[in-house]
Amino acid sequence: MCGIAGFIRTDRRPVEQSDLNNMIQTLNHRGPDASGTQISGPVGLAHSRLSIVDLAGGLQPMQTADGMLSVTFNGEIFNHIELRAQLQQKGYQFQTHSDTEVILLMYAEYGPECVQHFNGQWAFAIHDRRKQEVFLSRDRMGIRPLVYTQTAGRFCFASEVKALFALPDVERKVDHTALNQLFTFWSPLPPRTFFAGISELPPGHSMIVKEGNIRIWQYWSLDYSPNEENRSLDDWADELRSLLINATQLRLRADVSVGAYLSGGLDSSITAAIIRNYTNAPLNTFSVNFNDKDFDESRFQQEMITELGTDHQTVCCSYDDIGRIFPTVIQHTEKPVLRTAPAPMFLLSKLVRESQFKVVMTGEGADEVFGGYDLFKETKIRRFWSRQPESSIRPLLLKRLYPYMKNLQAQSPAYLKAFFNIREEELQSPFFSHLPRWDLTSKLKAFFSDDLKQQLKAQDPQAEFKQQLPPEFSDWPSFCQAQYLEAVNLMPGYILSSQGDRMAMGNSVEGRFPFLDYRVVEFASRVPVRFKMNGLNEKFLLKYALRDLIPDSIRRRPKQPYRAPDAHSFIDTASQQARFEYVNELLSPDRLQANGLFQPAAVQRLVRKMEQGRAIGTRDNMALVGILSTQLLVEQMIHGQTVTPEKQTTAPARILS
C-alpha cells in the first residue's frame, strides 16, 4: 500500500517542490520503501511507496512513454494481469509488470470509465496533459482513503489529512457539523471530514479537476433491487463458493508474503480456510487477544489454528497497552472514535510488520455483505415484536441476541420492553434498524459545551442522511435497507477506516478483503433475504456454502462482535486514578475549556464515576472514549502538539508464539 498526495495550482504560480516534499513526508508510514515527486506545469504529484507488486519496476509517480499521462496510486488492482492481456491485444506496450501501469493504460483506453473494469481497492490521481485536467477516483467500497481541499491558489489532495495540513495555506479547524454527525452515526457523512474545509471523495466516486472547477460523480452504487427468488439454496451456495475462492486467490497476488488475520470468528476463519485449501500459499496467521477475559476469543482462535495447521502468532493486549498506544492511534484515525477497538488492531498490524509481512488478508466486510451483525437480528426481532406489542415473550428474544452483554441479561421483561419500546413513527422510518444505536450515541451530546449545543440546535443529522438515500431505497426489503445503511456509513467511515486502513497503514501493512470483492458484494445484494438470515441464523448462506471448510463449533458459535476494553484502558479503578498523565491533562477543566467542545463539569462527574468503578455501561464508556479522542485530535492535529503517555507502569504487549 502507499500514500499519495499532490496539488494543482489554480493561480498560475509555480508548483513548490518543498510543499510536495513536506506533504509526502507526513505519509512515510504508508510507504516507507521509496518516495517520489513529479512536477508538470501546474500539477505536482507525490507518492510514498510500500512495494508489493513489481518491486523493481513500480516506482511512482509513473508516466506513460509519451509523457502525456502521470499517476500517483495507492492500492491494488487485483485483476491487473487479465487487464494487461486485454490491453496487449489492443496493441498497448508495457514497460513494467506493475498494476500501476495497467491503470495508466486503462485510462488511456477508456478514460474515466476505466474504473468500471477494476477489481481492487484504490485511490489515485491521473494528470492528463492532453486534456489539462486531473482525474481522481476511489474504490467502490471505500477501502482506500482520499481527502481533498481547495485554498485560494490551489486544489490539494492526499491519502490523509495530515498531508494537507503540511501546507501553510490549509486551515486547521474542527467541523462542528461533522462532530455532530460523528456523535450520531460514529462517522461524519461523506464528503464531510472532522476538519472544516477538508472533504473526502466518497466511496464509488470519481472526480475531475480542471481549471479550478471540480466535477464529482458516482460510478458505482449498491442496489438490492434485482432479487432472484427462484434459485435454489444449493445454486446460490455454489456460486458464492466459487466467487469467494476466486476473490481470495486474486488477493493473494503479490511479490511478497501474505498473512491472514484470525479472530476466532466465522469470517476470518473462512478466509484462512480458503487460503489453506485452495491455494499453495503458505499460511501465516495473526491474532489479538486480551488479558481481560470478557473480550478474549483465544479458545476459538486456537481451534482454527489446530484445524488449519497455521504458523500463528498472537499479540496479547492489556488495559495499559491500549491506553499507551491511544494517542498514536488517534493520530492515524484522524477522527474521534467512540470505542477503543482500533487500538488492538494497531498492535496487531505492528506484530504483522515485525514478522516481516507487508500484506494481510482479513474477513472484514462479511457482516455487512451477508447480514451478520446483531443489529440485523435486532431489527428482525423488533419488527416481529411490533406485530404483538403487548407480548412479554417476544422481547425476550432480545436477551438471546446479546449473551455477552451482562447488563442486558440482568433486565426484567418489563424493562426490556421499555428499553426496546417501538413507537409507531419508528416503524415507518427509513432508519428503523439503526435508531436504537443512533439514539444511544446521540445521548453523548449531553456532554457538548453550551456554545456548541447552541450552534448545533438547528441541525438534524438524520435529515441530512435521509437526503443521501437513493430514490429506490424505499422499495428494498427492510433487511436490505439496514444492510445499505451499514455499508455506506459505518463500514467505510469506521470499520474500513479507523479500524482498518489507518491501523494497518500506521505500521505499513496493507489489508485485503475478499468479502469486499465487488463481484461478491453485487452477488450478495441479489440473494433473497431468507438465505442471508434464516430465522435468526445470521450469514446462513455463507455458513452453508463453506460448511465443509469450517468446524461446526466455529460455524455454530454465538456471534460475538469484536470489542476491546474502553474506560478501564484509561482509568484504573483499583487506584481510582488515570493510568496516564495525558488523560488527566486532556480531561482537565482548563484544557476542556480551552478547546470549547465539552462541558468541564460534566466530564469531571463522568471521570469521578469512572474512578469509583461505577461507570459500567455502554453510554459512559463511549462518552469517555469519544471525549478523550476528540481532545487528542484537537491537541495533535489542530494545535500541532505531541501527546505522549508517560512511562508505562506495566510490561508492554508481548508476543506469544
Partner 1 sequence: MKSIQSEIRNFVADNFLFGEDPESLQNDDSFLETGIIDSTGVLELVAFIEDQYDVQVDDDELVPENLDSINCLIDFIESKLKELA
502 CB neighbour count, 10 Å cutoff: 26
Query: Binding of partner 1 at residue 656 (CB under 8 A)?
Result: no
Query: Binding of partner 1 at residue 616 (CB under 8 A)?
Result: yes
- Angstrom CA distances, 577 to 347, 499, 565, 584, 587, stand at 25, 28, 17, 9, 12
User: Containing H/E element for 278?
Assistant: helix 266-278
Among 619, 638, 645, 648, binds partner 1 (CB under 8 A): 619
Torsion-angle region of residue 274: left (phi > 0), alpha (psi -120 to 50) or beta? alpha
Among 446, 468, 646, 655, binds partner 1 (CB under 8 A): 446
Cross-strand pairs, 73: 124
Segment lying near partner 1 (by CB under 8 A), choices 50-58, 115-123, 204-212, 616-624: 616-624
Sorted by sequence, the CB contacts under 8 Å of residue 423 that are 6+ apart come out as: none
Segment lying near partner 1 (by CB under 8 A), choices 504-512, 546-554, 609-617, 631-639: 609-617
Among 40, 620, 638, 648, binds partner 1 (CB under 8 A): 620
Among 455, 602, 638, 645, binds partner 1 (CB under 8 A): 602
Segment lying near partner 1 (by CB under 8 A), choices 9-17, 66-74, 410-418, 493-501: 410-418
Among 152, 393, 410, 463, binds partner 1 (CB under 8 A): 410
Task: Tell the smallest beta-carbon distance from residue 195 to partner 1 (Å).
Answer: 24
Among 117, 526, 555, 609, binds partner 1 (CB under 8 A): 609
Task: Tell the smallest beta-carbon distance from residue 606 to partner 1 (Å).
Answer: 5
Query: Binding of partner 1 at residue 447 (CB under 8 A)?
Result: yes
DSSP-based three-state secondary structure for 528: coil
Query: Binding of partner 1 at residue 438 (CB under 8 A)?
Result: no
Segment lying near partner 1 (by CB under 8 A), choices 5-13, 104-112, 113-121, 617-625: 617-625
* 333 closest CA partner among 626, 37, 536: 626
Which H, E and C letters describe 197-243, residue by residue? CCEECCCCEEEEEECCEEEEEECCCCCCCCCCCCCCHHHHHHHHHHH
| Of residues 446 and 656, the one with the C-beta less far from partner 1 | 446
* 426 closest CA partner among 438, 415, 416, 414: 438
Query: Binding of partner 1 at residue 561 (CB under 8 A)?
Result: no
* 433 closest CA partner among 445, 442, 420, 443: 420
How many amino acids of this chain bind partner 1 (CB under 8 A)? 31
Task: Tell the smallest beta-carbon distance from residue 432 to partner 1 (Å).
Answer: 18
Query: Binding of partner 1 at residue 440 (CB under 8 A)?
Result: yes
Q: How many Å apart are CA 386 and CA 384, to the nearest integer?
A: 6
Segment lying near partner 1 (by CB under 8 A), choices 100-108, 309-317, 408-416, 648-656: 408-416
Task: Tell the smallest beta-carbon distance from residue 448 to partner 1 (Å).
Answer: 7
Among 18, 412, 467, 657, binds partner 1 (CB under 8 A): 412
Site for partner 1 in 496-525 (CB under 8 A): none
| Of residues 357 and 438, the one with the C-beta less far from partner 1 | 438
| Of residues 65 and 414, the one with the C-beta less far from partner 1 | 414
Q: How far is CA 625 from the centre of its chain?
A: 18
Pairing assessment for the beta strands 43-49 and 34-40 based on DSSP bridges = antiparallel
Decide if 241 contacts 546 (C-beta within 8 A). yes
Query: Binding of partner 1 at residue 421 (CB under 8 A)?
Result: yes
End-to-end Cα, the chain, rounded Å: 27
Cell 472533504 maps to which residue?
199
Q: How many Å apart are CA 379 and CA 374, to the nearest integer?
A: 8
Query: Binding of partner 1 at residue 614 (CB under 8 A)?
Result: yes
Segment lying near partner 1 (by CB under 8 A), choices 195-203, 513-521, 581-589, 614-622: 614-622
Structure letter (DSSP) for residue 458: T
Query: Binding of partner 1 at residue 445 (CB under 8 A)?
Result: yes
Cross-strand pairs, 248: none
* 316 closest CA partner among 580, 645, 649, 657: 657
Task: Tell the smallest beta-carbon distance from residue 478 to partner 1 (Å).
Answer: 24
Cross-strand pairs, 25: none
Query: Binding of partner 1 at residue 582 (CB under 8 A)?
Result: no
Query: Binding of partner 1 at residue 459 (CB under 8 A)?
Result: no
- Whether residue 288 is annotated as binding a ligand: the answer is yes
C-alpha cell at 505: 497503514
Segment lying near partner 1 (by CB under 8 A), choices 191-199, 348-356, 416-424, 494-502: 416-424
Decide if 204 contacts 219 (C-beta within 8 A). yes
- Whether residue 169 is annotated as binding a ligand: the answer is no
Task: Tell the smallest beta-carbon distance from residue 402 to partner 1 (Å).
Answer: 10
Is 317 annotated in the active site? no
Q: What are phi and psi of 85, to 5 degrees?
A: -60, -40
Decide if 559 contacts 374 (C-beta within 8 A). yes
Query: Binding of partner 1 at residue 599 (CB under 8 A)?
Result: yes
| Of residues 13 and 608, the one with the C-beta less far from partner 1 | 608
Among 605, 644, 655, 656, binds partner 1 (CB under 8 A): 605
* 274 closest CA partner among 283, 263, 287, 265: 283
- Angstrom CA distances, 198 to 130, 236, 397, 577, stand at 29, 43, 44, 37
C-alpha cell at 610: 469512572
| Of residues 116 and 392, the one with the C-beta less far from partner 1 | 392
Among 233, 245, 408, 422, binds partner 1 (CB under 8 A): 408
User: Containing H/E element for 77?
Assistant: strand 69-77
Query: Binding of partner 1 at residue 299 (CB under 8 A)?
Result: no
Binding site for partner 1 (CB under 8 A): 407-408, 410-412, 414-415, 418-419, 421, 439-440, 443, 445-448, 599, 602-603, 605-606, 608-609, 614, 616-620, 623
Binding residues, as ranges, are 99, 288
Q: Tell me which residues are annotated as active site.
A: 2
The binding site for ATP comprises 288
